[in-house]
Chains A and B, each alone.
Chain A
Amino acid sequence: MNTVNNNNYDVIVIGGGITGAGTARDCAMRGLKVLLVERHDFSTGATGRNHGLLHSGARYAVTDHESATECIKENMILRKIARHCVEETEGLFITLPEDDLNFQSTFVQKCNDAGIRAEVIDPELARIMEPAVNPELIGAVKVPDASVDPFRLTMANVLDAKLHGADALVYHEVVDVLVEQNRVVGVKLRNNHNGETFNAYSKITINAAGIWGTLVAQMAGVKINMFPAKGSLLIFGHRVNNMVINRCRKPANADILVPDDAVCVIGTTSDRVPIETCDDMRVTPEEVELLLAEGMKLAPSLGTTRILRAYAGVRPLVASDDDPSGRSISRGIVTLDHEKRDGLAGLLTITGGKMMTYRLMAEEVTDLACEKLGVTKRCETATTPLPGSEPIEKEKKISFSQKAAAGRHGTLNRDVERGDVTSDALVCECEGVSVGEVRYAVTKLHVHNLINLRRRTRVGMGTCQGELCACRAAGVMCGDDEGAQRAINDLSGFMNERWKGQQPVAWGDNLAEAQLTAKIYQGMLGVDKLANERRVEYYEI
């Protein structure tokens, strides 16, 4: 992993979120020599902290035609190229008695204008199609929303970038941007595991660090006017709904409920926060209340469904350059050529946009990079399936965990060892994660710790949040004695990370579960007595 050819990159991409991963993939597919760097883990930032919604674009149809058009196009593309990350759930936009039903016709019109197939359906039909929907609805529109797993999507992009020759480093943080004569020539990297620093050089550096991109720009001596907007969400213990449920009105707080994998997610709020707080977002009691109150309007049963976690992400909103006050904020894709804008060559910033328009963002910034490097190869990311998304040959009799793994890794599931008793033993029972899958993730998917493993496999994401599986997984992952101490520390950090999301919603069965977990890990095992430090991930959700 550390055998990075320091001097020879065409492009260094900063940021292991979906935008960075997508950009690395696109660059690599155009034949560029790419280094992708991420200070923590892939999809640690906003990528891993949103709804997991594959917008149809309908949400933006009335207010932002351009975003809506982008969404529906990307929506259709991702269904094809990222089949194993997408679940084609369809979506509803419902009108409640307190909403203006007149908005519906405008909404449908604007959807159609943007190329989004929006179909008005009878409220009764909506109740049948989605029994969880608020039965008091007075109007419903069906749209091609879907759900998407951003962890898988990011990883698939990284894997493809690597297949096309890219290098990728996680836990490597850009601590300086190297500038020579008004040109960015590379970055100074710090290995966040051991503190060592080194330089990596490239012709072009692409800043795809999300909200943290403002800090990267600062290191390069340029200013990007960013406005961190915190969005909080709640995860429920199981799927209440099988279709995405939205409110048919102008976008507001907590008006989308998405079925993601075995859970469902309500969100979001939207509040400006200082950039300094972005590394340690916590969901406030007021946000929990608001999300619940609004969520129950979409699906009343949320009021009696167990909440597993609360989490928050930060949208990287950018103020337009001609408005330094920051009042006119663009929600669209922002590509900055710092050579044109600031007279600083060799640096591009790609930001704004949405998780699900990452591919388009990557295409735009890669086009720009290619133009500067004189590369003419066209973008092929819209038509080339991501690894794992090739058509599946039907498998007849496979076990629960194999089915779950196939859902997570698509066709790459073939690389998961299985069929023998050792590999098939289950580590995480809630999510059906086997020893084979853990080993696959460790060897192939950049897994350094339990939190990485969770993002790749869903270990510890079930309703118990790691009650037994965390210890089992740590046992499978750790090597020698030194590894054992690290694994214990990791275990301690992991349990704390799980608690961080549980704590704002610690009541009912969630509190009971937390007490049981504490009894096992602290009272019985004594993890707290053995752990002597917390890993970097301590600060993450």
Chain B
Amino acid sequence: MATETQTQNVSVNNFEQCLKCSICTVYCPVSAVTPLYPGPKQAGPDGERYRLKDKVFFDESLKMCLNCKRCEVACPNDVHIGDIIQAARIKYSTHKPSLRDMMLANTDLVGTMASPFAPIANPVLKLKPMKAVLHSVMGIDKHRTFPDYSNRKFESWFKKEAAPNQDQYSKHVSYFHGCYVNYNYPQLGKDMVKVMNAVGYGVHLLEKEKCCGVALIANGMSKQAKRQGEVNMSSMRKAIVEGHVVLTSSSTCTFTMRDEYDHLLGIDNHDVRDSISLATRFLFQLIEKGEIKLEFRKDFHKRVAYHSACHMERMGWVPYSTRLLRMIPGLEFVMLESQCCGISGTYGFKKENYERSQAIGKGLFDQINDVAPDCVATDCETCKWQIEMSTGVPVMNPISIIAEALDVEATIISNKK
């Protein structure tokens, strides 16, 4: 038999490597704020042993898991606790997503509908009566403000303003911009193009881009997530064949496509995974190899506090962004203690989760208020909404900070040498 006897312990998501040490429960942001959630150990490896016996041991309260993966980061024994919980939801949940959940989950569909009407949609979504309707009818919490929908999608801007110039570069990357950049905050995409172009890289969109699906997974629509994931993978394969690395500016999209596709959705991404990278990581690696150089404005001064987004933490990539930011001479860097902000994508938008969501993030908000930075830097867009709403401090993606600090002319010259 090929299997070697007892040289390794193999179980789905490593659930049987659990030593029952309970460390995960210390770092679960949810169980600290609600008694209704059984906690990561019980919902994860403990429950899994019994679910293998009988599916009656599945409990719908598992939907309270934020999927922040902080339990996995804390686990000393590499148990994929968050994956166990999400996989159990996918496998056993009989809960049907509501209209609200579908609306929140289909970030790209809603974005497509809202963008052309942005001048109308944005004020309307902010009106009290509208919020009351969303709150009571849809179950979207009234405290939430939908991120503004941009009246010009990033894709439209790109095709018109940027695409024609990209072929002049000798090196190229593809850009998975994600829903947020496309519908809500095209500026980040523009910053991305600015930075990449300055270091001599042409930027291209994928042939077809779908929402990465993170919100669909969270809202129990894994089949649709899988379909969208397959589309993304096949677009990326084409880009990779052309020698492109696929860059993103969102840690959550990156994490979903690299890890959740395989672990939760059963999408085979092994040939694509390593070519998906976060832009900060890509830049850092090139700088380290001496292939590119960033030149910064002398007059740039900013006190920046970095927040480690959950999925960034899970990917283990925080140091790429932080070391990159710390290269900016005028940047005063403060590292925030790593904590979940509580929004977790669409989770915090649901009225039943609002209070929990704010309670989870409280520690982080207090820290930010204490530090009083000019801005908070983070690699995740939903953290941005949550932190801005809860602290009033502006939040920027590291790429936007780089773009702002960058001496474009000098950088172009440096990289032409």
Contacts and interface: CB of A to CB of B under 8 A. Distances in A.
Determine whether A and B are in direct contact in the complex, meaning some CB atoms lie less than 8 angstroms apart: yes
B4 interface: yes
B22 A507 contact: no
Interface stretch (B51-59, B189-197, B362-370): B51-59
Contacts of A507: 6
Contacts of A449: none
B9 A305 contact: yes
Interface string B1-32: 10111111111000111111110000000000
A237 B16 contact: yes
Interface stretch (B40-48, B151-159, B316-324): B40-48
A463 B3 contact: no
B116 interface: no
Given A239-B53, A300-B3, A429 B77 contact: no
Nearest to A430: B46
B5 A293 contact: yes
A262 B53 CA distance: 6
Contacts of B8: 304, 508
A238 B11 contact: yes
B38 interface: yes
Interface centre among A262, A467, A516 (most CB of B within 10 A): A262
A303 B44 CA distance: 24
Contacts of B143: none
A297 B6 CA distance: 14
B19 A516 contact: yes
Given A429-B42, A464-B20, A400 B6 contact: no
Contact of A304 (B9, B20, B41, B49): B9
A35 to B, nearest CB: 37
A296 B5 contact: yes
A494 B362 CA distance: 43
A306 B16 contact: yes
A60 to B, nearest CB: 28
A400 B20 contact: no
B5 A292 contact: yes
B56 to A, nearest CB: 6
A305 B5 CA distance: 9
Contacts of B7: 304
B1 to A, nearest CB: 6
B50 interface: yes
Interface string A425-437: 0000110100000
A170 interface: no
Contacts of A336: none
Contacts of A262: 49-50, 52-53
Nearest to B14: A509
A540 interface: no
B16 A468 contact: no
Nearest to B41: A429
A430 B57 contact: no
Contacts of A509: 9, 16-17, 19, 77
Interface in B330-369: none
A292 B5 CA distance: 8
A508 B9 contact: yes
Interface of B: 1, 3-11, 15-22, 38, 41-42, 46-50, 52-54, 56-57, 59, 77
Given A301-B3, A400-B59, 17 more contacts: A238-B15, A238-B16, A238-B52, A296-B1, A304-B6, A305-B16, A306-B11, A306-B16, A400-B38, A400-B47, A432-B50, A467-B20, A468-B20, A507-B6, A509-B17, A509-B77, A512-B19
9 contacts: A237-B11, A239-B49, A303-B6, A400-B38, A429-B42, A430-B20, A509-B16, A512-B19, A512-B77
